[in-house]
Amino acid sequence: MKAWAICASAIVLAGCTTTATKVATVSFEKPGAGSTILLMKPDITLAALTASGVGEPRADWMASASQNLSAEAREFAQSKGLQVKEFDPAAAEDQRVQQVIKLNSAVSQSIRMHAYALALPSKTTFDWTLGDGAKSLADREGATYALFINGSGTYSTAGRAMMQIFAAAAGVGIAGGGQSVFVSLVELKTGRVMWTNAVLAGPNDMRKPEGADLLAKSLFKDAPL
């Protein structure tokens, strides 16, 4: 947690990009060429960090970042010979599918907390799962795996950047904007989370296609597809 906080606070002055992959401790059957992977619409929350330190949500930033990361994920999966089927969780009407999506959000939060930030002493294996309910997505969409992407963060406004400069001159450090992205690969027939990666975006601006392209290189670097 501290390492992530230090990096995020330093982004305006220096910029850094870190990755941290986790792989399930169970055997993994790599999807064959032509297999269908379900690409969930990236859930991205971004805000403008004002001079006073208040985050003001920006719907336009969220939309562009989601669109850019979705395009990168689609291109990556297709480069592995996979068929991509895109899915917007907001449009899900089947209650079973809605439950799987909600469960994934909860499990992803737990993974970020306990596999990356504050490791549980009693949990020594990476064996997270969404349960058998994930099979409903496999049956409904004809996919073997699903790729979930979540991101959040802030970008400093000009006013906030000036505040940082003045504060630094006075020997005081104040946080600037910082963004992180989390991706997980789920085996739908079992619900097992097979692989995850957590990335601090650093200087790679996901709101722009070129920034998202650079970010994706780190995000999908070790994906077992």
Q: Give percent of the chain with pLDDT exceeding 70.
A: 86
DSSP 26: S
Whole-number Å distance between alpha carbons of 6 and 69 = 25
CB 220 within 8 A of CB 183: yes
Which of 47, 41, 49, 74 is closest to 61 using CA atoms? 47
Pairing of strands 36-40, 145-156: parallel
Whole-number Å distance between alpha carbons of 179 and 199 = 9
Q: What is the pTM of this model?
A: 0.82
HSE (side-chain half, CA atoms, 13 Å) at 95: 0
How does residue 27 score in pLDDT terms, banded at 50, 70 and 90? low
Which tokens is 28 given? 């993994």
Mean pLDDT of 161-178: 76
Least confident of 65-69, 136-140, 144-148, 170-174: 170-174
pLDDT at residue 38 is higher than 70:
yes
Whole-number Å distance between alpha carbons of 32 and 117 = 34
Which carries the bigger pLDDT value, residue 54 or residue 120? 54
Which of 211, 215, 184 is closest to 197 using CA atoms? 184
pLDDT at site 148? 96
How does residue 151 score in pLDDT terms, banded at 50, 70 and 90? very high
CB 1 within 8 A of CB 117: yes
pLDDT at site 18? 54
CB 25 within 8 A of CB 127: yes
pLDDT at residue 173 is higher than 90:
no
Q: What is the pLDDT of residues 78-116, one digit of tens each?
A: 999 999 999 998 888 888 888 898 999 999 998 888 877
Least confident of 113-122, 140-149, 177-186: 113-122
Mean pLDDT of 124-151: 90
